[in-house]
Amino acid sequence: MSKTVLQSANPVPPPTGKPVLQLENLSKTYALGKHEVPALSNLNLTVNAGEFVAIMGPSGSGKTTLLNVIGCIDKPTKGKVLLDGIDATELPENQLYKIRRDKMGFIFQTFNLLPYLNARENVELPMEGRGKSKSEQKQRASELLAMVGLSGREEHRPQRLSAGEQQRVAIARALANNPAIILADEPTGNLDSQNKQGIIKLLANLNLTQGTTIIMVTHDSQVARNTERMLLLKDGKIAKEMQGLHANKKNQICPHCGSRIQIKDEICPSCKKTVYASDDLF
Amino acid sequence: MISIPAGVLANEKTANTVASNLSNLISQTGATINQTLTQIDCSLAPSFSGFGFTPPSGGTGTYRSGGYGGSGSGGSGFTPGQFGGGTIGGYFGGDAFSGGRANPMNETLYSDINSTLSGVAAVEPVLQASEGNNVTRNLDFNGYSRTITTLDVTYTIEGVPLTSDLVGNYPILPTNITAGSNLQAGDSGDVLLSENNSAYFGAGVGDSVSILGQSFTVVGIYSPSSVGDTQMLYMNLSDAQAITNNTGYITSLTVFAQNSGDVSSVASEISALHPELTVTTAQDRESALSTEESTYTTALANANASDSTTNSTAIEEIVVVVLATSLIVLFVMLYTVKERTKEIGTLKAIGFSNSTVMTQFMLEGILLSMIAGVVGIAIGMVAAPTIASTLLPSVGGGARLPTGAVVISGTTRFGGLAVATLTPELVLLGFGVAILLGTIGSLYPAWRAAKIRPAEAMRYE
């Protein structure tokens, strides 16, 4: 598998904490026959721009519901979803699709690429209707595919790509409109460990170098450990919050010996240990 | 997939054209009868022998073998082939109007008509003989062929007695002279040609023409009336008898009554005197005409009735086809939408609006119908005749339209067989309907697709 090398020579410094997402007293109840099943109850959360967040929790804890509500593809029963200060729950559908298109980037467990379009066309999809010329779309899609390590694979259809490559195409697609937030629902759930590692590295590097805000749902603790901020969801509430390994890298401190490191360093100059997302983590 | 019974429009056209042709013919013939009210035709030939496809009796023979005959004189106003030459032409002309004259009559046997019957003003003995060839034609109509044998008449000799009384007082000669002059009383060795004769012989006024080996001088050329025989040349009776070796013989007598009120009594006196004669008065001809008129009216009514049956059957078929097609498109598109629920959810999650999704599925449905339309038309082009003849009721089934009376510009029925052709208009119509049905059938599925909620669609496997 291809090694993730980001082209950006001067990494963007971690953005200062301006809230990009605020959830206030968020509740979501599903009606199951006569019973009402609460999925989220009075949840409060603030995510700042540039954060890499993992949402963890057992099955049925409301992880995916939370992600869908954040992504404006599901409406909460009550509460507010503030995106850049705008309450998305107040917006009608003919405004919401623009938010999904321009502010969100979705990554799915099952990749959800369109099978009859090639990799580049899949990446171009969200750019439709945004006033970009076909050639601009094409160029942007090719750049994004290069960024995720798929140069030369632009014309391949999904069935001719490996699972890991398909998820890279999906990540490129999510990045197409330069969204404020990337929402990833179990992005490594269908991948083997090697591909899993590659995707996590890719997301982490995107976060480091591009300042992309990422909110990722996972039940894989190994994957979650490599994020910056881990949220444990239980009974529709955030039960616990921890710092992940990615925070060390971001804070430019070696997790092993505590000495200063550079963002681009993969191995600590002091203790010579692998700083981040090494194979032994998986 | 749609198909439209192609014969429908064509049938209507057929019936309408036949109807208008017939009504023209009937009114023209009626006018001719009125002009000759006092005229009584007498001949030995049985009347009404030449129905339908059979050439008028004697018509197929040549004058030499003694088979003289009305050879479809009334029908010559029609382009040969349009009504099959021997069909309606023979029906009207051969028998009803000219009188079917087949057997030669000894002239002297009938001199008593003029001498003993008081109501008679004049008697015109006539010898009529046709020269021509038996021709077998193979008519081909859209692949359905039929062999027709007819006497192809080149010209008909009409020998009339050129006495000063008859020439001066009775309509024994054509009146519409277009060149030269008419025949005069006592002319011999002279001939009056029709315009067609003139063209056939290549002769004009003053030229001499050879008729059955005898030389005649052309004194004039006439233009035939619309229902008259266009190939009839006139000469003195004695000349005609001589050149056809029929001295003393005639083929018919035309008796002129003193006045029109006497016609029927004179006719019955003639019949009493000579029971072997077939006597036809203007009234007889008129009633024969009205009989035929009613026959044709019935035939047309039947044709129209079966036409409307065809139409309503076709409409039923079209309705069924349209419904079936819409439902097929509907279900195919609904299935497609269901199959692709997750895809639709994905598209919405990555920022496609409801209207974009709806448009997408509408276009897909329409494209599907367009492809189906093209395939359907291609199949239709090959199979339309078979489909039409199998599915459509036969026009004129039970209606006594003259057998073989056919041919309206390309699309028609021949002997009860439906012949369907796909016109460009029909192809375009079919294509348009295909697109329309595709649009209708796609509306609901596309709307369903647009209304899918992405969060639920994501859960759909």
Q: How far is A256 from chain B (nearest CA, A)?
A: 40
> Comparing A96-110, A148-162, B90-104, B234-248, which segment has the lowest mean pLDDT?
B90-104
B350 closest CB neighbour out of A74, A93, A173? A173
- Cα(B413)–Cα(B395) distance, integer angstroms: 7
pLDDT tens-place string over residues B133-173: 777 777 666 666 667 777 677 888 889 998 888 888 888 88
| Alpha-carbon distance A223 to nearest alpha carbon in chain B (angstroms) | 23
Is A129 within 8 Å of B356 when comparing Cβ atoms?
Answer: yes
Tell me how many degrees the CA angle A113-A115-A121 measures, rounded to the nearest 5.
65
More confident residue, B26 or A26: A26
C-beta atoms of A102 and B351 within 8 A: yes
Return the higher-pLDDT residue of B27 and B247: B247
Distance from CA of A108 to the nearest CA of B (A): 9
Best A95, A111, A112 member to test B by mutation, with max B CBs in 10 Å, is A112
For A73, the closest of B354, B356, B455 (CB atoms) is: B455
* Residue B394 half-sphere exposure toward CB, CA atoms < 13 A: 10
What's the pLDDT score for residue B408? 34
Contacts B349 to A, Cβ<8 Å: 71, 73, 100, 104, 106, 112
- The rounded percent of chain A whose pLDDT value lies above 90 is 52
Confidence band of B435 (pLDDT split at 50, 70, 90): confident
User: What per-residue confidence (pLDDT) applies to B316?
Assistant: 75
Interchain CB distance below 8 Å, B351 and A104: yes
Residue A12's pLDDT band (boundaries 50, 70, 90)?
very low
Contact predicate B150/B85, CB 8 Å: yes
pLDDT tens digits, A116-145: 999 999 999 999 888 889 999 999 999 999
Residue of chain B nearest A110, judged by CA positions = B458
B348 contacts A126? CB cut-off 8 A: no
- Distance to chain B for A75, nearest Cα, Å: 9
The answer to whether the beta carbons of residues B377 and B6 sit under 8 Å apart is: no
Q: What predicted TM-score, i.e. pTM, was given to this entire model?
A: 0.57
B346 close contact with A: CB closer than 8 A: yes
Residues of chain A neighbouring B458 (CB-CB closer than 8 A): 68, 73, 108, 185
Residue B4 has pLDDT above 50, yes or no: no
Q: Is A252 left (phi over 0), alpha (psi -120 to 50) or beta?
A: left
B13 pLDDT band (50/70/90 cuts)? low
Choice between B195 and B37, residue whose per-residue pLDDT is larger: B195
A126 touches chain B (CB under 8 A): yes
pLDDT, tens only, A265-280? 777 888 887 765 544 4
Coil vs helix vs strand at A92 = coil
Q: Do B182 and B194 meet the contact criterion of CB atoms below 8 Å apart?
A: no
Whether chain B has a CB inside 8 Å of the CB on A129: the answer is yes
Q: Enter the DSSP assignment of B125.
A: E
DSSP string, B176-200: -EEEE----TT--SEEEEEHHHHHH
Q: What pLDDT is attached to residue B228?
A: 63
Higher pLDDT, A206 or B142: A206
> What's the rounded Cα separation, in Å, for the pair A176 and A145?
10
Q: Are B40 and B263 in contact (CB under 8 A)?
A: yes
- The better pLDDT of the pair B110, A100 is held by A100
DSSP state of A72: T
Is B67's pLDDT higher than 90? no
**In DSSP terms, which residues pair with B134 in a beta bridge?**
B151
pLDDT value for B407: 32
Q: Which value, in Å, is the radius of gyration of the alpha carbons in chain A?
A: 19
The DSSP result for B420-431, as a single string, is ----HHHHHHHH
How many beta-carbon pairs under 8 angstroms link A with B?
59
Helix (H, G, I), strand (E, B), or coil: what is residue A54? strand
- Of these ranges, A34-48, B54-68, B373-387, the one predicted with the greatest mean pLDDT is A34-48
Kindly give the residue spans of alpha helices, DSSP state H, lying in B252-352: 263-273, 282-339, 341-349
Q: Give A-chain residues touching B347 at CB under 8 angstroms.
A: 125
* Mean pLDDT calculated for residue range B222-245: 84
- Residues within 8 A of B (CB atoms), A 66-85 only: 68, 71, 73-74
Mean pLDDT of all residues in A203-216: 89
Q: Does A128 touch chain B (CB under 8 A)?
A: yes
Residue B91: the pLDDT is 32
Phi, psi of B430 (to 5 degrees): -60, -45
ipTM of the complex: 0.84
- Scanning A79-118, the segments in alpha helix (DSSP H) are 93-103
Task: Measure in Å the smallest separation between the Cα of B2 and chain A Cα atoms.
Answer: 29
| Contact between A106 and B350 using a beta-carbon 8 Å cutoff | yes
- Chain A residue closest to B357 (CA)? A97
Using CA atoms, how far residue A187 sits from A67, A190, B67, in Å, is 13, 7, 104
Tokens 């700083």 correspond to A275
d(CA B129, CA B70): 8
Predicted confidence (pLDDT) per residue in B303-355, tens digit: 777 777 766 777 777 778 778 877 888 898 889 888 888 889 999 999 899 99
- Chain A hits for B342, Cβ within 8 Å: 112
In the chain, the amino acid numbered A281 is L
Using alpha carbons, select from B303, B328, B306, B318 the residue that is nearest to residue B387: B318
For B220-248, the DSSP string reads: EEEPPPTTS-TTEEEEEHHHHHHHTT-TT
Contact A157, A139 (CB under 8 A): no
Extents of the domains making up chain B:
39-258, 302-459
| Structure confidence at residue B218 (pLDDT) | 92
CA distance linking residue B165 with residue A30, whole number of Å: 117
Q: What is the pLDDT of residues B195-223, one digit of tens each?
A: 888 888 888 898 889 888 889 999 999 98
Q: How many whole angstroms from its chain centre is CA B420? A: 19
pLDDT digits (tens, 9 = 90+) for B266-295: 888 888 888 888 888 877 777 877 887 787
C-alpha distances in Å from residue B329, one per residue of A47, B359, B367: 48, 16, 11
Q: CA of B24: how far to CAs of A150, A191, B226, B304, B403, in Å?
A: 84, 88, 10, 18, 20
User: Is A73 close to B349, i.e. CB distance below 8 A?
Assistant: yes
Specify whether the CB–CB gap between A161 and A169 falls below 8 A.
yes
B343 touching chain A per CB within 8 A: yes
Report the C-alpha gap between B255 and B264 in whole angstroms: 12
Cβ–Cβ contact A173 with B under 8 A: yes
